[in-house]
Chain A
Amino acid sequence: MTKHDLSSETQRFLDGEPGAGPRSGERDAAVRFLDAMDTYARGFREPRGGLDDRVMARLRHMRPGRGGLWGWLVAPQAVRVRPIVLALAAAALVLVVSQRLTVPAPVVPGVAPTPGMVLVRFELLAPEARTVALAGSFNSWSSEAIVLVPGSTPGLWTVTLPLALGSYEYLFVVDGQRWIADPGAHAQVEDGFGQMNSVIVVGPRGIVRS
């Protein structure tokens, strides 16, 4: 590596700016740097599970300070859904149900649909993902229990889940660490912590993704 700073042109390349490339003569230094950082980042293993259990076990005997966010946490929450979204979702109900129930997709093993439950297909286009899971209010937000599998369409991950009637919030968990909303959901609601949750509504006549 050179003792001198790399040019601004090469810095933009290292910053990952689209279309930027290293200046002639600096390519080796730039690539060497990126390779070194890639080696460093890859050296960290996926964290062992159970941190949430350990935290919650320690919190069992603690009480948070009152007021502020604690007050918000224990207060009843109103879910805000835009009326126009609900109207669109209702209009799309028949189409969505027919599409979602005729496309075969993996069903979560060991979870058989029972009367009063509806099969719901979740899908996410994530070509770069190594794993995709589904977490939501229907499984206590466990980020490991419901795993999506790659479908026939490249990059498309799917799972079909039997759900009882009701409204649920959910997110996809990509590579075990990125919690992302469903870009295909017809509505998202604020989770109260600056992020958005996707919402699905399972009605008596089938699925409404609102």
Chain B
Amino acid sequence: MYRVLVQRYHGEFWRYAAGLVGDQDVAEDALQEAFIRAFQSLHTCRDPDRFKHWFFRILTNQCHNARARRRREEPLDHHDAPAREQADRSLYENELRHAIDHALGELTPEQREAFIMKHVDGRSYEEISSLLGTGMDALKMRVYRAREALRRILDGNV
């Protein structure tokens, strides 16, 4: 039964995790760790109907921690993971991805979550609102601020 949950929510959240961490391999590890932690903490999930939301919060925390760890161990300014992963892509695309990844790191965790879900994961505001437990107006404002901050950072980098 738990395998079904792993398959389902891995499929649903892998892109969100990759965007939030900025490195797909590290994000996969964060996902794996989130599933392990969720299993160990199942007794604290009092409402099975909210498993998805409950797991989403565990995953988000894992991703924020993974990103912070990655930043400490490998400064984003110098990391070359995108170049390694996307060797066949153009230099411009690699630079753009690197710049966006760097700019995402400048956002607050709350802004980054909302922005990734909207512009990388392609979710509707209704879905995001439900997962984050944030009202629609506040959510749109969060994405708006993240978007403008990102545009300003990119403006100076690309």
Contacts and interface: CB of A to CB of B under 8 A. Distances in A.
Nearest to A193: B51
Contacts of B40: 62, 64-65
30 contacts: A1-B155, A5-B148, A29-B151, A33-B147, A37-B100, A37-B119, A39-B93, A39-B97, A40-B96, A40-B97, A41-B19, A43-B97, A47-B10, A51-B35, A52-B3, A54-B32, A62-B36, A65-B42, A65-B43, A68-B45, A69-B48, A69-B51, A73-B1, A140-B3, A171-B8, A177-B11, A177-B12, A192-B48, A193-B48, A194-B52
A167 interface: no
Interface in A166-210: 171, 173, 176-179, 190, 192-195
A66 B43 CA distance: 5
B24 A47 contact: yes
A84 interface: no
B75 interface: no
Interface of B: 1-8, 10-12, 14-15, 18-19, 24, 28, 31-32, 35-36, 39-46, 48-53, 82, 85-86, 89, 93, 96-97, 100-101, 118-122, 124-125, 140, 143-144, 147-148, 151-152, 154-155, 158
Nearest to B8: A179
A2 B77 CA distance: 24
A67 B48 CA distance: 12
Contacts of A194: 48-53
Contacts of A66: 43
B56 to A, nearest CB: 11
Interface residues of A, number: 55
A130 interface: no
Contact of A179 (B12, B35, B42, B143): B12
Nearest to B24: A44
A43 B14 contact: no
B42 A64 contact: yes
Nearest to B43: A65
A147 B147 CA distance: 38
Q: By CB atoms of chain B within 10 A, which of A41, A73, A195 has the most?
A: A41
B6 A51 contact: yes
A6 B155 CA distance: 13
Given A59-B2, A193-B5, A193-B51, A52 B10 contact: yes
